[in-house]
């Protein structure tokens, strides 16, 4: 008898396990997939735009039914508030479902907000339990709302599109400093290094998809909604300027984070022929050095490349002077790229590569002395970049076709 | 022959292995829950060194706590205290141990409940979670030490694999951000030692040893078991401290309320596999459960022996109510818990629990040895 009562109690208790205290069932929530935050310095108001998956439309697509195809699989909506958390809650006025934030993939910040200072905006993302520091962060050059509503032709939702485009650009071109919010927060807190956040450029209205709803078969003229390239330099939590594509690749080279990148060099034999080399592997090491008692920094970059475009003519033999010359020219290109980043970094007083942090880590006592005047020291410090490139492959073709045959 | 007036209500025996699992889980849970090496002092990126230092200092305290136990392998502290310093003083001094266990249960349960409320069940009333844990713990304590030992056997593999899995998932992020661990030991040993204070003093948990040693298979080896548990727990603590400092950064880590939980939240194993904090929470829940049941068992048995009760189980229900209520009411909010774990507060407080009773008993023991009386004599 006692056993039966016990079993009954267990069964009754198990029933209560099916939901949490206030019964927030997933099917009644709207899942936020992308968040865009803008700040208006004139009014001091934050504007938040979120993109949610539309469960109604998504369900239709899965079922393959044409009936409910009127609805987009996602929906973007905006709200305003005096501080970021208030904007999150203000969204409730415009949405029929409670929002669920844990599936957020990308966090987009407007240029205006970045120039105003981002700490307030990211503090809430660290504090609020549903927001995750694992999301990708990007600074939007252009209208955030337009980006949130944009159609990514190959993807179901815009958020998916933005996240994929970031990943693709990062792997294929190293054009984007991919960093999660978590890393940015730790960069902001560490001495001697400034934040560098990737840039998303919103396509202008004229370039945008002409008539996504009206046109019957003219999908070929849909323009890409956004371009992922470049980055924003910060000083503290304020943005101070943009880096162009090459400077961004330079950052990826210097920090050893580049995946694949394309380098264009001229043929050592014939100045008019350009050769395309793809950098496939890259590793970078930095260390402080003392030359005659003066502090300097040495950056050693080791890269491996493969020839991808070879319109010229030259025998590709191991250790031959020709290959060596190609390697040297590639190394020179990489060095110039990194130098362009350092120049920009010095100009804007934003130590994005983290040379100061290097000194803090390796020479903590010295850092204490120069900490307060670091940006002045940074402007004159000797930075020695040594690049060593190995070209090991030439694709599936060994030597190019002889020039006389091409004539 | 006062001690013999206590009928041996239990002849329960657990293996030393089970004791090891229990001690390991109870300590690991609390030291990684809010990672005092990082959050309680200014050790920052050297928190891992504090973790290692805390092993040696904690080991010293374990020797003080358990040393007498292995000299009286058949007796609990309540019994040998009466032999050493007399019936009533001996009983009185054991109330300090009971008090310590009471505060430890209340604090551990409260931290767990706070974590759940902060991270998951924001609107659930705190007493509900606290009492759920207290009821689970008291059920286990009611079933006896052997049952707790078997639960420890069962839960230990889940516990350790959940923690190790979380740490393995953290490796990619760790390699990316390991620069946050530098500069190493740049500010001297001061911060390292200060960081070791609170994790050391949390060893007051091992006061439960004084009640468990006679129930082990090989009581004489119980001290070694406790040290091994401490070593294992220190290893986990060191790894967690390394991972948290690297991934969250020293500054953010030290500002976190639940650093390990924050760490797991940032992990993204692949596009489809994130949100792995459930692993950490599982481990945490199991660890707290084992800890709470052991403390409840030891606490109720100690009280039963002090007041001369035959069966400790009669005391579990009333004490569980006291424990739960104490857990709910002893801290106003999460800030107070953080304040409690400030070295200036928790260290003297816990040191008193350990050194006051143990100091008196060791002194009595020493005097007996010097004066040539057998320690076991009345």
Domains of chain B from N-terminus onward = 17-359 (1.20.1740.10)
Residue ranges of chain A with per-residue pLDDT less than 70:
15-26, 57-71, 204-222
- Please indicate, yes or no, whether residues A291 and A215 belong to a single structural domain of this protein: no
Contact status, residue A34 vs residue A131, Cβ threshold 8 Å: no
Per-residue pLDDT at B3 exceeds 70: no
Looking at residue B253, its pLDDT comes to: 85
Q: CB distance from A369 to chain B under 8 Å?
A: no
| Helix-, strand-, coil-residue percentages of chain A, each rounded to 5 | 40, 30, 30
Kindly list the residues from chain B whose CB atom is less than 8 angstroms away from the CB atom of residue A126: 252
Last residue of a domain, one of A208, A243, A278: A243
Q: CB distance from A407 to chain B under 8 Å?
A: no
Phi, psi of A390 (to 5 degrees): -120, 125
Looking at residue A63, its pLDDT comes to: 46
Is the residue at A261 inside a domain? yes
- Please indicate, yes or no, whether residues A174 and A78 belong to a single structural domain of this protein: yes
- Name A291's bridge partners: A294
Query: How many Å apart are CA A58 and CA A6, to the nearest integer?
Result: 44
Is the residue at A316 inside a domain? yes
Phi, psi of B160 (to 5 degrees): -70, -35
Looking at residue A206, its pLDDT comes to: 44
- Please indicate, yes or no, whether residues A304 and A231 belong to a single structural domain of this protein: no
Of the candidates B121, B176, B262, which has its C-beta nearest A21's C-beta? B121
- Please indicate, yes or no, whether residues A267 and A376 belong to a single structural domain of this protein: yes
| B15 min Cα distance to partner chain A (Å) | 30
Kindly list the residues from chain A whose CB atom is less than 8 angstroms away from the CB atom of residue B124: 20-21
Burial group, residue B129, by CB count within 10 angstroms (0-12, 13-18, 19+): buried
- Please indicate, yes or no, whether residues A277 and A234 belong to a single structural domain of this protein: no
Contact status, residue B270 vs residue B73, Cβ threshold 8 Å: no
Kindly list the residues from chain B whose CB atom is less than 8 angstroms away from the CB atom of residue A102: 275
For testing contact with chain A, the best of B251, B273, B281 (most A CBs within 10 A): B251
Angle at A133 between CA A132 and CA A138, to 5 degrees: 110
> Which residues make Cβ contacts (< 8 Å) with residue A94, sequence separation at least 6?
A77, A78, A79
Last residue of a domain, one of A243, A273, A304: A243
Looking at residue A336, its pLDDT comes to: 92
Instruction: Name the 3-class secondary structure at B71.
Output: helix
> Which residues make Cβ contacts (< 8 Å) with residue A78, sequence separation at least 6?
A47, A48, A49, A50, A94, A145
Per-residue pLDDT at B6 exceeds 60: no
Is the residue at A9 inside a domain? no
| A75 min Cα distance to partner chain B (Å) | 22
Helices (H) and strands (E) in chain A, counts: 14, 13
Q: CB distance from B44 to chain A under 8 Å?
A: no
Is the residue at A1 inside a domain? no
Looking at residue B378, its pLDDT comes to: 53
Contact status, residue A37 vs residue A109, Cβ threshold 8 Å: yes
Look up residue B238 and give its two tokens.
């060191």
Is the residue at A10 inside a domain? no
Contact status, residue B98 vs residue B77, Cβ threshold 8 Å: no
Domain residue limits at A321:
257-407
Of the candidates B179, B252, B268, which has its C-beta nearest A185's C-beta? B252
Burial group, residue A257, by CB count within 10 angstroms (0-12, 13-18, 19+): middle
- DSSP annotation of A180 reads B
pLDDT digits (tens, 9 = 90+) for B249-301: 888 888 888 888 888 888 877 666 666 778 888 888 899 999 999 999 999 98
pLDDT digits (tens, 9 = 90+) for B75-101: 888 888 888 888 888 888 888 988 898
Question: Using a CB cutoff of 8 Å and minimum separation of 24, what contacts does A56-59 make?
Answer: A58/A156
| B46 min Cα distance to partner chain A (Å) | 13
pLDDT digits (tens, 9 = 90+) for B114-138: 888 887 777 788 888 898 899 999 9
Q: CB distance from A127 to chain B under 8 Å?
A: no
- Find out whether the peptide bond into B183 is cis, omega within 30 degrees of 0: yes
Q: Do A361 and B183 touch (CB under 8 A)?
A: yes
**For chain A, what is the radius of gyration of the CA atoms?**
26
Kindly list the residues from chain A whose CB atom is less than 8 angstroms away from the CB atom of residue B169: none
CB atoms within 10 A of CB B52: 16
Query: How many Å apart are CA B37 and CA B21, to the nearest integer?
Result: 22
Look up residue A393 and give its two tokens.
């492959």
The percent of residues in chain B predicted with pLDDT above 70, rounded, is 94
Kindly list the residues from chain B whose CB atom is less than 8 angstroms away from the CB atom of residue A134: 265-268, 274
Q: CB distance from A134 to chain B under 8 Å?
A: yes
Furthest-apart CA pair in chain A: how many Å? 100
Is the residue at A19 inside a domain? no
- Please indicate, yes or no, whether residues A86 and A200 belong to a single structural domain of this protein: yes
- Please indicate, yes or no, whether residues A71 and A220 belong to a single structural domain of this protein: yes
Q: CB distance from A23 to chain B under 8 Å?
A: no
- Find out whether the peptide bond into A175 is cis, omega within 30 degrees of 0: no
- Please indicate, yes or no, whether residues A239 and A342 belong to a single structural domain of this protein: no
| B346 min Cα distance to partner chain A (Å) | 27
Q: Do A182 and B248 touch (CB under 8 A)?
A: yes
Q: Do A190 and B251 touch (CB under 8 A)?
A: yes
Is the residue at A53 inside a domain? yes
For testing contact with chain B, the best of A179, A182, A361 (most B CBs within 10 A): A182
Burial group, residue A292, by CB count within 10 angstroms (0-12, 13-18, 19+): exposed
A-B contacts at Cβ under 8 angstroms: 62
Look up residue A281 and give its two tokens.
């592997």
- Please indicate, yes or no, whether residues A188 and A46 belong to a single structural domain of this protein: yes
Checking ipTM against 0.85, whether it exceeds it is no
Query: How many Å apart are CA A34 and CA A148, to the nearest integer?
Result: 8
> Which residues make Cβ contacts (< 8 Å) with residue B216, sequence separation at least 6?
B13, B14, B15, B16, B19, B222, B225
Contact status, residue A380 vs residue A294, Cβ threshold 8 Å: no
CB atoms within 10 A of CB A206: 7
Phi, psi of B346 (to 5 degrees): -75, -30
Query: How many Å apart are CA B55 and CA B235, to the nearest integer?
Result: 9
Residue of A nearest to B185 (CA): A364
- Please indicate, yes or no, whether residues A307 and A354 belong to a single structural domain of this protein: yes
Of the candidates B124, B187, B267, which has its C-beta nearest A134's C-beta? B267
Q: Do A22 and B183 touch (CB under 8 A)?
A: no
Last residue of a domain, one of A220, A243, A266: A243
Per-residue pLDDT at B24 exceeds 90: yes
Q: Do B249 and A190 touch (CB under 8 A)?
A: yes
Q: Do A361 and B251 touch (CB under 8 A)?
A: no
- Please indicate, yes or no, whether residues A180 and A266 belong to a single structural domain of this protein: no
Q: CB distance from A360 to chain B under 8 Å?
A: yes
Query: Which has the higher per-residue pLDDT, A91 or B41?
Result: A91
Q: CB distance from B268 to chain A under 8 Å?
A: yes
Looking at residue A17, its pLDDT comes to: 62
| Helix-, strand-, coil-residue percentages of chain B, each rounded to 5 | 80, 0, 20
Q: Do A189 and B120 touch (CB under 8 A)?
A: no
Look up residue A228 and give its two tokens.
């992922």
- Please indicate, yes or no, whether residues A35 and A82 belong to a single structural domain of this protein: yes
| B57 min Cα distance to partner chain A (Å) | 29
pLDDT digits (tens, 9 = 90+) for B163-191: 998 888 888 888 888 888 888 888 888 88
Look up residue B329 and give its two tokens.
């009411």
Q: Which residue has the tokens 């439309």?
A: A57
Contact status, residue A146 vs residue A158, Cβ threshold 8 Å: no
CB atoms within 10 A of CB A78: 17
A-proximal residues of B, 161-180, CB under 8 Å = 173, 176-177, 179-180
Look up residue A92 and give its two tokens.
């409730």
CB atoms within 10 A of CB A234: 25
Look up residue A100 and give its two tokens.
């669920």
pLDDT digits (tens, 9 = 90+) for B292-325: 999 999 999 899 988 888 888 888 999 899 988 9
Query: How many Å apart are CA B10 and CA A211, to the nearest integer?
Result: 82
Residue range B16-24: average pLDDT? 91
Kindly list the residues from chain A whose CB atom is less than 8 angstroms away from the CB atom of residue B186: 364-365
Give first-to-last CA distance, chain A, whole Å: 100
Burial group, residue A23, by CB count within 10 angstroms (0-12, 13-18, 19+): exposed
Is the residue at A249 inside a domain? no
Phi, psi of B375 (to 5 degrees): -60, -30
Query: How many Å apart are CA B20 and CA A256, to the nearest integer?
Result: 45
- Name A136's bridge partners: A106, A180
Query: How many Å apart are CA B304 and CA B316, to the nearest integer?
Result: 10
Q: CB distance from A96 to chain B under 8 Å?
A: no
CATH number at residue A352: 3.30.300.210
CB atoms within 10 A of CB B164: 14
Give first-to-last CA distance, chain B, whole Å: 7
Q: CB distance from A13 to chain B under 8 Å?
A: no
The closest alpha carbon to A243, from A354, A137, A139, A165, belongs to A139
Looking at the structure of chain A, the number of domains it has is 2
Kindly list the residues from chain A whose CB atom is less than 8 angstroms away from the CB atom of residue B173: 182
Looking at residue B273, its pLDDT comes to: 62
Residue of A nearest to B271 (CA): A105
Place B10 in a pLDDT band, splitting at 50, 70 and 90.
Answer: low
């Amino acid at each position: 008898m006692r056993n039966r009562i016990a079993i009954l109690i267990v069964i009754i208790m198990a029933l209560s396990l099916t939901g949490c205290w206030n019964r927030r069932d997933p099917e009644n929530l709207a899942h936020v997939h992308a968040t865009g935050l803008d700040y208006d310095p004139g009014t001091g108001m934050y504007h938040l735009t979120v993109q949610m998956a539309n469960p109604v439309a998504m369900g239709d697509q899965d079922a393959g039914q044409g009936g409910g195809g009127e609805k987009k699989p996602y929906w973007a909506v905006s709200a305003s508030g005096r501080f970021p958390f208030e904007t999150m809650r203000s969204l409730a006025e415009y949405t029929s479902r409670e929002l669920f934030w844990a599936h957020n993939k990308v966090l987009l910040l407007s240029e205006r907000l970045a120039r105003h200072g981002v700490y307030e905006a990211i503090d809430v993302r660290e504090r609020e339990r549903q927001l995750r520091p694992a999301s990708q962060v990007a600074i939007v050059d252009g209208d955030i709302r337009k980006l949130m509503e944009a159609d990514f032709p190959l993807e179901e939702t815009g958020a998916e599109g933005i996240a994929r485009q970031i990943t693709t650009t990062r792997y294929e071109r190293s054009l984007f400093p991919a960093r999660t919010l978590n890393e940015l927060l730790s960069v902001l807190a560490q001495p001697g290094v400034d934040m560098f956040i990737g840039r998303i450029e919103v396509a202008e209205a004229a370039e945008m998809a002409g008539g996504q709803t009206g046109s019957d078969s003219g999908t070929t003229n849909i323009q890409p909604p956004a371009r992922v390239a470049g980055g924003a330099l910060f000083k503290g939590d304020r943005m101070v300027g943009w880096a162009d594509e090459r400077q961004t690749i330079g950052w990826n080279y210097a920090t050893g984070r580049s995946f694949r990148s394309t380098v264009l060099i001229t043929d050592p034999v014939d100045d008019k022929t350009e050769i395309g080399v793809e950098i496939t592997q890259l590793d970078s090491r930095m260390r402080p050095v003392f030359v005659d008692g003066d502090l300097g920094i040495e950056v050693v970059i080791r890269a491996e490349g493969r020839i991808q475009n070879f319109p010229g003519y030259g025998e590709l033999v191991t250790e031959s002077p020709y290959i060596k010359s190609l390697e040297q020219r590639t190394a020179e290109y990489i060095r110039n790229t990194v130098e362009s980043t350092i120049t920009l970094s010095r100009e804007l007083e934003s130590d994005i590569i983290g040379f100061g942090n290097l000194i803090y880590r390796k020479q903590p006592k010295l850092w204490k002395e120069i900490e307060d005047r670091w940006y002045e020291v940074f402007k004159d410090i000797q930075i020695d970049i040594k690049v060593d490139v190995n070209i090991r492959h030439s694709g599936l073709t060994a030597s190019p076709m002889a020039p006389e045959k091409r004539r | 022959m006062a001690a013999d007036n206590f009928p041996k209500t239990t002849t329960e025996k657990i293996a030393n292995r089970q004791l090891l699992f229990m001690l390991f889980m109870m300590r690991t849970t609390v030291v990684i829950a809010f990672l005092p090496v990082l959050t309680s002092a200014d050790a920052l990126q050297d928190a891992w060194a504090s973790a290692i230092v805390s092993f040696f200092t904690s080991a010293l305290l374990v020797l003080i706590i358990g040393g007498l136990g292995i000299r009286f392998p058949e007796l609990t502290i309540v019994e040998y205290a009466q032999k050493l310093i007399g019936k009533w003083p001996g009983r009185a001094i054991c109330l300090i141990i009971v008090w310590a266990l009471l505060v430890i249960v209340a604090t551990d349960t409260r931290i767990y409940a706070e974590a759940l409320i902060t991270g998951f069940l924001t609107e659930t009333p705190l007493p509900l979670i606290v009492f759920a844990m207290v009821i689970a713990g008291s059920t286990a304590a009611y079933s006896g030490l052997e049952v707790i030992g078997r639960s420890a056997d069962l839960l230990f593999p889940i516990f350790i694999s959940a923690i190790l899995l979380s740490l393995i998932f953290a490796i990619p992020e760790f390699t990316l951000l390991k620069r946050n661990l530098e500069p190493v030991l740049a500010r001297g040993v001061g911060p390292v030692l200060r960081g070791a204070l609170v994790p050391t003093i949390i060893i007051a948990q091992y006061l439960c040893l004084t009640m468990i040693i006679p129930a082990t298979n090989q009581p004489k080896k119980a001290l070694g078991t406790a040290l091994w548990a401490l070593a294992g727990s220190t290893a986990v603590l060191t790894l967690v401290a390394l991972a948290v400092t690297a991934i969250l950064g020293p500054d953010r880590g030290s500002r976190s309320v639940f650093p390990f939980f924050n760490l797991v939240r940032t992990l993204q194993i692949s596009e489809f596999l994130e949100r792995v904090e459930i692993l950490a929470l599982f481990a945490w829940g199991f660890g707290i459960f084992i800890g709470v049941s052991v403390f409840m068992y030891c606490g109720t048995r100690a009280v039963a022996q002090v007041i001369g009760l035959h069966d400790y189980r009669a005391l579990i229900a009333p004490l569980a109510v006291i424990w739960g209520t104490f857990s709910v009411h002893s801290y106003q909010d999460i800030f107070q818990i953080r304040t409690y774990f400030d070295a200036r507060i928790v260290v003297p407080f816990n040191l008193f629990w350990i050194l006051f009773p143990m100091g008196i008993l060791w002194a009595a023991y020493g005097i007996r040895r010097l004066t040539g009386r057998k320690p076991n004599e009345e």
